[in-house]
Amino acid sequence: MKQKRCVRGPTLQGRLLRKQTWRQKWQKKGEEDAEPAGSELLVPLGESVPEVPCPPPTVPPLYPPGPSGQVADTPAEVFQALEQLGHRAFRPGQECVVMRILSGMSTLLVLPTGADNSLCYQLPTLLYSWHSPCLALVISPLMSLMDDQVSGLPPVLKAACIHLGMTGRQRDSALQKVQSAQRRWLGLGPGVLPSSLSSPQLPSLASTRPAASLSGPTTSGPATCVSARERLGVSCFLGLTATATRSTARYVAQHLGVAEEYVLGGPVTIPANLRLSVSTDKDPDQALVTLLQSDHFHALGSVIIYCNRLEDMERVAALLRTCLREAWAPGPGGQALEAVAEAYHASMCSRERRRVQRAFMEGRLWVVVATVAFGMGLDRPDVRAMLHLGLPPSFESYVQAAVGAGRDGQPTHCHLFLRPQGEDLWELRRHVHANTVDFLAVKKLAQCVFPLCACAQRPPEQEGAIETLLCYLELYPQRWLKLLAPTYARCHLRCPRGATQLQALARRCLPLAVCLAWQPPENTAALGPRAQDPECASGHGVLVEFRELAFHLYSPGDLTAQEKDEICDFLHGRVQAREPDALASLHRTFWAFHSIAFPSCGPCLEQPSEDRSSQLKALLSRYFEDEGPGDREEEQGPEPGQAQLPAWEEQIFRDIRHLLSSWPKQQFSGRAVAWVFHSIRSPRCLAQVYGRDRCFWRKCLLLSFHALMHLATEEALLWGR
């Protein structure tokens, strides 16, 4: 109820009146009893970590399987739901997968991109929601793919998504809609694990799709499944992929709990409308411009160019805007172009990425220069050309990009530009060595993960390598570790009014009162609203800033020295076994493309050779049919740059001594020196520090990493004497 009061003399108005009112309000709050009561009771530091709440009940299957595990015949209700989703009939392989999910049986499906894989979880989600309030959890590695899925759903199936590209208010809004049963399925993007969602936030779960695409034996996918199964009670999983070898499919099926006979789908095939070609031009940039200026490409509607480095994307986009401005002024389809070419990569702001993607989808942009992730999250059927400017990192990556073009069945050209001397192979080889660590680094990580006391340490390795090792530990048979969602390690508070204001805030903020954050996601939520208090809005509030994104995990602290040594041996063995397989796969990709490459792009200016295209398709088919690494031992040429090592050995020793003398206070290992010469970034070898000195950064990129590391270790030992 509002009351009118009359006062005599001068009165405060506007901002000054509001300021005085809020000051009086918070002064009254400060006069309350300092002892917290009720829900604000402080938790003693000696108490154990609260147990994870019980997961919600799992939705029972709609059509239970028979006594021998057979799936029931498709009822009329399924076809009715299929029509509501806008489909008249199932495509090959879809009906069997849908019925298995409706029977509560986990399944792994291998189908090419463009085969409408999303129907395999959209239809079961709709049917489950008809019988009981439930939720399907959809996990994807691409933010753009999640956004396209949510916006393109029919009205009968409503969804929400959560990913790191959203603001906090958007994520909270999506969770509120899920809690109120307004959404049938929830999409989780990269960086958002099921373990970051507590059980009370979610209704009963119907099914989960653990991965959208696979490019080799990954560790984050199985770890995600373990988290969803234990914390959220998920029992039915559906794995969808367009590119997976037989060994990869078996690996994923093992962690999904799927029997090998229930891995559905045929071999990975390249659509017949795709024409594949490869060339080894001495000047790939000029060859690219020549190819796009040809009459054959003049008739194409849209083009995607894939590059491996961010610098190449910006450079190629600027080159095409300069060279093709006059030739393509009216637009390939007759419509006015907003721009000839634009770059699309993760370093751009989200608004700029949306602008580029929208212009390409609407036909106002002819060429997009991007990474393979752009094509995976693109829902456009009439992409007429797919060009790779450099060696793709794997056959899976190449096929994933190729099958994303020409989805409407019209003839489409896919061309690959290779460096004749293998420079693109040297560039990709860096990423393989970046994920390999020494035994000493593994032991330091184990000491951080399994400490004897509470301490904070920073392992001197890359975040990607650390995350891979943590996923290995989570999948360890003894389950030594439980990996949770990343959180912030530090919270910086600024109290303009000093200790009095901080003391008053501690009465209302539990994390600040106990100075211990054992549940960072919940404590972050407790601290965050304080920055939005009206006191803060008036210019005198507490400012809250979170810093240093860190890993969050549960681990025992009483492991013996022998158990830690076993863990170190396990991690180091997994890392060492992974590196030669990755290098062998990369070299096989390099020599396979070189075996069918033209010396220049001249024969590909009009129509690509059918013979070369068929040969490349046969090579790709044989690769995906292989059973394992043992079947991939083929005759390969020597590694580029190996023959030059003896001639450069003296110069390499001088460069290593120069590096060690230039940074005398830095303790270099042989691997750290090799990282600098191969331009591999890590917390120990910062690009901002060593990249500015071109005397060392990227200087020995063409030489073998292990040979360079051996020479650096030998010289570092002599230098230490």
Cβ–Cβ under 8 Å, residues 284 and 427? no
Confidence (pLDDT) at 610: 83
What is this structure's pTM?
A: 0.71
Rounded Cα gap, residues 110 and 94, in angstroms: 11
For β-strands 482-494 and 543-554, DSSP reports them as antiparallel
The half-sphere exposure of 342 on its side-chain side, counting CA atoms within 13 A, is 22
CA distances (Å), origin 553, targets 84, 168, 435, 469, 515 = 43, 23, 21, 13, 19
DSSP annotation of 237 = B
State how far the Cα of 419 lies from the Cα of 492, in Å rounded to an integer. 49
The CA distances from residue 77 to 22, 204, 245, 268, 404, in Å, are 60, 22, 35, 32, 33
For the chain, the first-to-last Cα distance in angstroms comes to 84
Q: How far apart are CA 197 and CA 171, in angstroms?
A: 12
450: amino acid identity, one letter: F
Q: Which residues pair with 195 in a beta bridge?
A: none
Helices 463-474 + 561-595 axis angle, to 10 = 120
Segments in 422-475 forming alpha helices (H): 423-434, 439-449, 463-474
Tokens of 3: 């009351």
d(CA 125, CA 138): 11
Q: Which pLDDT value is given to residue 279?
A: 92
Q: What's the pLDDT at 187? A: 82
CATH 3.30.70.1230 fits 274-418+597-629, yes or no: no
Q: Which amino acid is at 317?
A: A
Q: What's the confidence (pLDDT) of residue 338? A: 76
The angle at the Cα of 523, spanning 494 to 541, to the nearest 5 degrees, equals 25
pLDDT of residue 706: 84
User: What pLDDT shows up at residue 607?
Assistant: 72
Pick one of 3.40.50.300, 1.10.10.10, 2.70.98.40, 1.10.357.10 as the CATH number of 76-264: 3.40.50.300
* Residue 599 backbone phi and psi in degrees, to 5: -65, -25
Tell me the C-alpha distance between 716 and 660, whole Å. Answer: 8
CA pair distance 528, 493, nearest whole angstrom? 11
| pLDDT reported for residue 47 | 38
> What's the chain's Rg over C-alpha atoms?
29
DSSP readout, 162-206? E-TTS-HHHHHHHHHHHHTT--SEEEE-TT--GGGS-GGGS--EE
Tokens of 152: 């393109």
The per-residue pLDDT for 31 is 40
Q: What is the pLDDT of residue 388?
A: 92
Cα separation, 247 vs 35, whole angstroms: 61
Q: Which residues of the chain have pLDDT under 50?
A: 1-12, 22, 25-52, 195, 198-199, 204-220, 331-332, 453-456, 460, 516-539, 630-635
* Dihedral sign for Cα atoms in the order 191, 196, 200, 204: positive
Rounded Cα gap, residues 208 and 496, in angstroms: 48
Residues 6+ apart with CB under 8 A from 309: 427
Structure tokens, 483 = 């990996």
pLDDT at 705: 85
Rounded CA separation 206/209 (Å): 11
Question: Quick check: 245 and 623 in contact, CB under 8 A?
Answer: yes
Taken as a whole, the chain contains a residue count of 721
Helix (H, G, I), strand (E, B) or coil at 138: strand
Q: Decide: 277 and 609 in contact? Cβ < 8 Å.
A: yes
pLDDT of 33 reads: 38
At 610, list the tokens: 């059918």
Domain boundaries, the chain: 76-264, 274-418+597-629, 642-720
Please give the pLDDT value at position 505: 77
Task: Please name the residue that has the structure tokens 């799992």.
Answer: 58
What pLDDT, on the 0 to 100 scale, is given for residue 538? 41
Token reading at 334: 């007759």
pLDDT in tens, 167-180: 778 888 888 888 88
